[in-house]
Amino acid sequence: MKPIAIFRHAPSEGPGYFATFLDSNRIPWQLFRIDAGDAVPTDASQFGGLVFMGGPMSVNDDLPWIPHSLALIRQAAERGIPVLGHCLGGQLMAKALGGSVERNPVKEIGWGEVAAADNAAAHAWFGDTARFDAFHWHGETFTLPPRAELILSSPYCVNQAFVLDGKHLAMQCHVEMTGEMVRDWYTVGADEVVAASSSPAVQSAEAATTGLERRVAALNAVSEKLYRKWIGGLA
């Protein structure tokens, strides 16, 4: 089996629970540390799938690796190689496939309820899960590329996830979280939380870490469904 390529864009925003899922299913993976200077590969066919994690930058920033990532996503989609995006990764997918990325009406940080759409695509990915608490950390959002189907929304961000061709999944929210990641992000992003505290969708560190183990376990259960559906598209 070809390995899954995972792209990390910030030291604190690794694959988290997704790596645990791959390991438990004996699926090989390779981490590309873009934040540490790793080059974006040029041939998507080396991999069974591509997975893009989050990051504090914007896909609209003038960064040298962004055009290469966009080109790789387009190549994978053209060849039917499954692509999965988390937050920044979902935004990269949207931009690469014909959508755009713009400022969200409010910043979302912390736990917040999301709702699955009532359509066949959402049912295929979420099963009977209609609502759940996802983790959020973003100030921008994506529009839907042509032919993409919206499968998830929140009160503060309509476009929380879309699927394309039944195998490519782009998410604005984070479903890969572990308890350690939540605590780390609130440490690294403490100033951002303070600066955005007037947003109705921003949680304090204290609020976000209350009942953390329970919250993460519930999120992991949803992640399991999504990731299992996604690996079903691997060659």
Active-site amino acid positions? 87, 174, 176
Structure tokens at 40: 């974006």
- Cβ(90)–Cβ(171) under 8 Å? yes
